[in-house]
Amino acid sequence: MIEKTHAVDEVFGINRDLPLNYVDRESADTVLINNLARRQHLVIYGSSKQGKTSLRKHCLNDNDYVVVHCSNKWGLEHVHEAILKQAGFELTVSTTLATSGKQKIFAKIKAGIWGAAAEGGAEAERAEEEGITKAPLELDPLDVNDIISTLEKIGFKKYIVLEDFHYLPVDTQKDFSVALKAFHENSEFCFIIIGVWLEENRLSVYNGDLTGRLLPINADKWTPDELGKVISDGEALLNISFTEDFKAELLSSCYESVYVVQETCHQCCLKENVFNTQQDHREIGNAVNCSDIVSQVVNQQGGRFNSFLTQFSEGFQDTVLEMHKWLLYPVLTATDEQIDKGFKQAEIRNTLQQVHPRGAELNSGNVTQSLQSLTSLQIKKDIKPLVLDYDQTNLRLNIVDKSFQIWLSRQDRNELLDLIGLTKMP
């Protein structure tokens, strides 16, 4: 007798809520939970769609934190203002028109939500497009000390989660890394920063003073056993079982991507007419081809990946060296093993000196500059999620979208090179 019926969408696939087959990982969940009480800043990092947000939702109660979703158009003052808004400060209307230069704004606050009653006004100068500005008490939105004192006045105690930190302009990320040191030393406030990269000490690279003040949590790693448990827990919830061949092929071809596992299982269920928990146990997977479903899952994003290649190859503007286009050459001509481990800066330089029109004249500075700007380029081109990332600590170019990695393994590389105006050298 089935105790409870679940929809397949609640178990497999990607949805807004935690999947019912969520699996704890010692390398991520245990580390996060064990360090929450230490009151230090936490950085959750990893590739796109590897469960970073689900990790946060699973380990924290909803009333333990506030969430700020970062934007690619924000400066430091916008990050600070968003934090204050999420902390409970209410707007008093102050409409401004978009003009060049700076404008004064007048704002009032009412902060009774936390049991404190405060009203005040503040004038601040800043450039702003038409909109409404909220300013709690008298403060400068660029001054981290004002932000700290304002939060302390209402007795704010929650964790502050910064989602999609990688979308912030690089200069804003660096500015906030400086502010984060002040939050650490001058207050009890704790941040949980979530970003798409594979570099353990990304924020410490931006601000060396943060070394030892942050705890990085790698949410990218999924072992075959953990991915297998994702499948088996889902099977139990839906009263089904996938064939052993289906599961073996999926685990061997998913590139350790929990997204690909979840979505492939979801598509298999739909093809086998499994829409919710089965009254009688069923085995599924015999009538479908796992490899075809994996291809279907990643090919759903084929248009986005083709767009990424063309936009990235164009760079910021037309240049003689066309470095961003040539940066794609080692990626598009590499073996699956090379792609999996990433590309060292020296390896990229050596490859490009053999194929680039400038040959040996191409120096390491040209390569380094283009690598360091690739995140800014993707943000400017509005490429979401990010596909490539440069690890400045280990001097390594990484693919941070595993779906792109799988998609790439199933494409004609020469066609992709033609797409961006390159030809594979013999």
* 104-108, 147-151, 400-404: the lowest-pLDDT one: 104-108
pLDDT band at 130 (very low <50, low <70, confident <90, very high): very low
pLDDT tens-digit series, residues 52-92: 999 999 999 999 999 999 999 999 988 988 998 888 875 34
In a domain, 371, yes or no: yes
374 near 327, Cβ under 8 Å? yes
Do 267 and 322 fall within a single domain? no
Do 334 and 364 fall within a single domain? yes
Alpha-carbon distance values, 5 to 1, 174, 236, 400 (Å): 11, 48, 11, 36
Q: Across-strand partners of 7? A: 276
pLDDT at position 413: 93
In a domain, 373, yes or no: yes
Do 216 and 228 fall within a single domain? no
In a domain, 6, yes or no: no
> What 3-state class would DSSP assign to 132?
strand
Do 295 and 308 fall within a single domain? no
* Total structural domains within the chain: 4
pLDDT tens-digit series, residues 244-281: 999 999 999 999 999 999 999 999 999 999 999 999 99
pTM for the full predicted model: 0.86
Do 166 and 60 fall within a single domain? yes
Do 354 and 317 fall within a single domain? yes
Distance, CA of 189 to CA of 179 (rounded, Å): 12
The token pair at 219 is 């949410």
Do 48 and 142 fall within a single domain? no
pLDDT at position 90: 58
Distance, CA of 59 to CA of 40 (rounded, Å): 16
What integer is the mean pLDDT of 102-110? 37
In a domain, 8, yes or no: no
In a domain, 2, yes or no: no
Do 292 and 306 fall within a single domain? no
Do 57 and 202 fall within a single domain? yes
Q: What is the residue type of 137?
A: L
Please say if the pLDDT value at position 410 is more than 80. Answer: yes
pLDDT at position 146: 83
The token pair at 153 is 């006045």
Do 352 and 291 fall within a single domain? no
* Domain limit, last residue, from 146, 172, 191: 146
What integer is the mean pLDDT of 389-416? 94
pLDDT band at 173 (very low <50, low <70, confident <90, very high): very high
The token pair at 241 is 């079982």
**Which residues span the domain enclosing 104?**
88-146
